[in-house]
Amino acid sequence: MKQNNVKDLYNQIAKKYNKNRSLASNDVTEFPKVIDLAGNVNGKHVLDLGCGIGKHAKVYIEKGW
């Protein structure tokens, strides 16, 4: 399938990345530890930069960070 632009190509790659990432053991090992290590960041600014699909940021937002 020919891509018309960079956005289309990125979206295609992102879908595959998201699927593969959801199958990785990191969601069971790394992800909970990173959240724990962040500690209490209430009232502080958090920057989740360039790290995948924003799963960490979603958890931070849900925790009110």
Tokens of 37: 């290590």
pLDDT per residue as tens digits for the range 2-25: 557 888 888 888 888 878 877 777
Mean pLDDT to the nearest integer, 20-39? 80
**pLDDT score recorded for residue 25:** 75
What value does the mean pLDDT of the chain take? Answer: 79
pTM reported for the whole predicted model: 0.50
Helix, strand, coil tally for the chain in percent (to 5):
55, 0, 45
